[in-house]
Structure 1
Amino acid sequence: MNRLSRAHSFNTAAARYAANRPSYPPALFDAVEEFTGRPLAGARVADVGAGTGIATVLLRERGAEVIAVEPGDGMAAQFRSALPDVPVVRGDGNALPLADASCDLITYAQSWHWTDTARSVPEALRVLRPDGALAVWWNTPAFDVPWISAQHARIAQCSGVNTPAEVLPDDSRAVQLAGLAGLHVARRHLRWSRTVPLDTHLANIGSHSGFLVLGEPGTRAFLADERARLREIFPDERVEETYVVDLLVATRAGTT
């Protein structure tokens, strides 16, 4: 599957993405503040790969001064519709359209894996102030929940795509695979859940890149099968999704 095609696929489903993707728990932003040693309130933050603004909204609620960076036409349009008063500039993490030493924090919510870390790490360091930090995170499935683990295996088989952070098994390996070697990195796993209608759960699955490029017939057949399976587990058609946020916060060595 072409990686570039997957990256651009979100632009065709931006509204579906905004409506159905999970958000993030307050504990995530508490951890970011703990690791960076400063409050988000008043911090100058660049939310890169901001998509439809799911993380941007929460950063603003914590008092951060946020500028969004988003490469996709459809995602940027959805972002502007939802957050008309937040500046969004077009670009990506490999070549940030931001001034040197202009940010206290750069965040990547579900988007770090789309960058070339040989380029995106130096770019982050260029844009960050000397005591600034880079925070990257992913909502990953809680694989210790049997139905979630079984569903993820079916998703991977059908779409050919695994969860990005699934390949980060321990702290040292996580730092290496995330391209953050040489920086001071703190890591935390944060468990949380949401309960949503079955239709929302299925639409969330369908908004992932592997299914967006798979095509309508294959996606429709997979989701119909999942609907039948999940009705047996959740007869009231209310699905409890459990996630583990995998958070890494990187600073220049010696700054924390």
Structure 2
Amino acid sequence: MTASSRALSFNSAPAQYEASRPSYPPALFDVVEEFLSRSLAGVRVADVGAGTGILTRLLRERGADVIAVEPGDAMAVEFRRVLPAVPVVRGDGNALPLADSSHDLITYAQSWQWTDTSRSVPEALRVLRPGGALAIWWNTTAFDVPWIHAQHERIAHHCGVPARSAVRPDDNDAVRLSGLSGLQVTRRQIRWQREVSLDTHLANISSRSAFLVLGQAACRAFLAEERSRLRGDFPAEVVEEIYVVDLLVAARP
């Protein structure tokens, strides 16, 4: 299974993605504003790999002027349904459909890993204005929480992928970004949590690309077993999901 196939697998479940995926905490945007030394109000942002607009909404709530870039057909349709007033253009980070020096901030939430960094870094630098910033981040697994760590191991085994013992990005991601861009990279981690129904939790984990490429039939039994297992930990069927947002930010001179 190629990275491209996994990246486009989200088109098979855009409504599920929109309804179940976690958002991002206010503290994350406080850090981005601190890095920019200005409020996001009026900042021109390109949200790349925007998906259904989870991040786009939050940026707009901060007053940012946002354009979305999304490669997936079905994801773009769902984006337009959710945020009909926000422009979304088709493309990806390897060839941004944006003018030179046109944006103050380029964001990648959960989507940087689908790019070829030898292409996406120069593209970001081309599109950023002087003094602008590239910000990439992931909601990562809180491995210090026993039930979350155990679930991560079960998911990896079911999907046939390696169980990562470290959060993303790892130290090599920062080194690689710095080496390709020649810029100093700042890294911050922000812990946060949300409470969701058991149904939403299961829909969230099964909206990941490793599940989507397997198809619903292959995952049905796993999700049924997971539901039964989690009822023991969360008898009220309200799950406390805990995340660590791992953020990398680099500024263009």
* Range into which the TM-score falls when normalised by the shorter chain: over 0.9
The residue number in structure 2 matching 1:176 is 175
Is contact 1:198-1:227 (8 Å) kept? yes
Give % identity: 71
Look up the match of 1:166. 167
**Structure-1 residue corresponding to 2:134:** 134
Greater shift, 147-156 or 159-168, is seen at 159-168
Question: What is aligned with 2:203?
Answer: 203
Contact 2:80 2:88 in 1 (8 A): yes
What's the CA shift string for 1:130-174, capped at 9, x where partnerless?
11000000000111000000000111111134569735444xx34
Aligned residues of 1:184 and 1:251 also touching (Cα < 8 A): yes
Paired with 2:33 and 2:126, the residues of 1 have a C-alpha distance of 21
Once the two structures are TM-superposed, the CA of residue 12 in structure 1 deviates from its matched residue by 1.0
Query: Which residue pairs with 1:68 in the alignment?
Result: 68
Name the amino acid aligned to 2:77.
A
- The letter for the 2-side match of 1:42 is G
Q: What is residue 122 of structure 1 aligned with on the other side? A: 122
1:203-249 Cα distance to aligned partner (Å, 9 max, x none): 00110001101122221111111101100100110000000000111
Partner of 1:108: 108
Match of 2:222 in 1: 222
- The C-alpha deviation readout for 1:182-214, integer Å capped at 9, x for no partner, is 211111100000000000000001100011011
Secondary structure, aligned partner of 1:214: coil
Q: Which amino acid aligns with 2:238?
A: R
The DSSP-based 3-state class of the residue aligned with 1:180 is helix
Q: CA deviation at 1:35?
A: 1.3
* Aligned residue pair count: 250
Q: Which amino acid aligns with 2:175?
A: Q
Give the Cα–Cα distance (whole angstroms) in 1 for the partners of residues 84 and 126 of structure 2.
28
Could you tell me whether the CA contact under 8 Å between 1:140 and 1:165 is conserved in 2?
no
Residue 39 (structure 2) aligns with: 39
User: Does the Cα contact within 8 Å between 1:50 and 1:56 map onto a contact in 2?
Assistant: yes
Q: Which residue in the other structure is 1:145 paired with?
A: 145
Structure 1 gap segments, 5+ residues each: none
- Structure 1 residues 77, 49: closer, same or farther in 2, change over 3 A? same
TM-score with structure 1 setting the length: 0.94
Q: 1:94 to 1:164 in 2, by over 3 A?
A: farther
Q: Which runs of 5+ in 2 are unaligned?
A: none
Matched, 1:24 2:42: no
Checking the alignment, whether the CA contact within 8 Å between 2:133 and 2:249 is kept in structure 1 is yes
- Distance of 1:84 and 1:218 partners within structure 2: 35
Q: Secondary structure at the match of 1:130?
A: strand
Q: CA RMSD in A?
A: 1.5
- Structure 1, residues 7-27: CA drift from partner, whole Å, max 9, x if none? 111011000000000000000
